[in-house]
C-alpha cells in the first residue's frame, strides 16, 4: 500500500458518536483508516477489551465504508507495537497515528516515544477544551515530531463523559441494542 493510511487506536469504552464522526472524517482524508481497540495502560476500563472491540467492530461494519477497516490483531497497549504490527501486515512504509489533542502533552512520556516518532507521524484531532498549547507545539518541534493538526470537527463527547452521564443519544445507533441487551455501562439507567 503506497497510499495515505491512518491508524486509529482507541479505548472505545464505549464507542461514541465522536468515534463514529472521527472514522467518517478520516475516511474522507485517507485512502484507508485502520482502527482497533486497545487497553490504555493509564486507564481503568469499564468493560473488557473483547466487549469494546465487538462494539467498535459493529460500529465500523454499520458504517459500511470500504475505506474503514477494523483489525483487532494490531492492538497493543503500546503505540509502537501497534504501529509496527500495522506496517508489517499492510506492508506500509509510513502512516499517521491518530490521537486526540488531549493526549499531545502526554506523548513525550509514552514508552518508546523516540521510536514512535521514527515509525509514524501524528494526526492530531482537536477536542473541545484541549487546545494544543504553544509549549506542546515547541516540544513537538524540539523533538522533530512529524505531525498535522486536523480541522475535523467532532462532537464534544468522550467515553468517560458518556459513562458518567449516560445518554443514549451519544451512542451510535448501531450499538444501542447491544448495550441495552447486555446491560453494558449500567444501561438499565439509560436516559433517552
* Mean pLDDT, all residues of the chain: 93
Nearest Cα residue to 12 out of 130, 100, 107, 129 = 100
**Would you state the pLDDT for residue 187?**
56
Per-residue pLDDT band for 41 (boundaries 50, 70, 90) equals confident
- According to CATH, what is the number of the domain 5-156? 3.40.50.620
pTM for this structure? Answer: 0.94
- What beta strand segments (E) does the chain contain? 5-10, 32-37, 68-70, 96-100, 121-125, 147-149
User: Is residue 44 predicted with pLDDT exceeding 80?
Assistant: yes
Q: d(Cα 7, Cα 1) in Å, to the nearest integer?
A: 14
Per-residue pLDDT band for 168 (boundaries 50, 70, 90) equals confident
Q: d(Cα 164, Cα 47) in Å, to the nearest integer?
A: 14
> What is the rounded average pLDDT of the residues 160-185?
91
Helix (H, G, I), strand (E, B) or coil at 44: coil
Per residue in 74-128, pLDDT (tens digit) is 999 999 999 999 999 999 999 999 999 999 999 999 999 999 999 999 999 999 9
Per-residue pLDDT band for 14 (boundaries 50, 70, 90) equals very high
Amino acid at each position: 500500500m503506497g497510499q495515505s493510511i491512518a491508524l486509529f487506536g482507541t479505548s472505545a469504552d464505549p464507542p461514541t458518536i465522536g468515534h463514529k464522526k472521527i472514522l467518517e472524517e478520516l475516511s474522507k482524508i485517507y485512502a484507508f483508516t485502520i482502527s482497533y481497540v486497545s487497553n490504555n495502560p493509564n486507564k481503568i476500563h469499564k468493560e473488557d477489551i473483547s466487549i469494546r472491540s465487538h462494539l467498535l467492530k459493529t460500529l465500523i461494519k454499520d458504517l459500511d465504508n470500504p475505506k474503514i477497516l477494523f483489525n483487532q490483531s494490531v492492538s497493543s497497549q503500546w503505540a509502537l507495537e501497534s504501529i509496527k504490527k500495522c506496517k508489517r501486515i499492510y506492508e506500509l512504509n509510513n502512516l499517521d497515528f491518530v490521537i486526540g489533542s488531549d493526549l499531545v502533552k502526554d506523548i513525550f512520556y509514552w514508552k518508546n516515544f523516540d521510536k514512535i516518532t521514527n515509525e509514524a507521524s501524528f494526526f492530531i484531532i482537536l477536542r473541545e477544551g484541549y487546545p494544543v498549547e504553544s509549549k506542546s507545539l515547541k516540544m513537538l518541534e524540539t523533538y522533530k515530531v512529524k505531525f498535522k493538526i486536523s480541522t475535523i470537527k467532532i462532537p464534544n463527547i468522550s467515553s468517560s463523559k458518556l459513562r458518567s452521564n449516560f445518554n443514549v443519544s451519544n451512542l451510535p445507533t448501531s450499538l444501542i441494542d447491544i448495550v441495552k441487551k447486555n446491560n453494558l455501562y449500567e444501561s438499565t439507567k439509560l436516559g433517552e
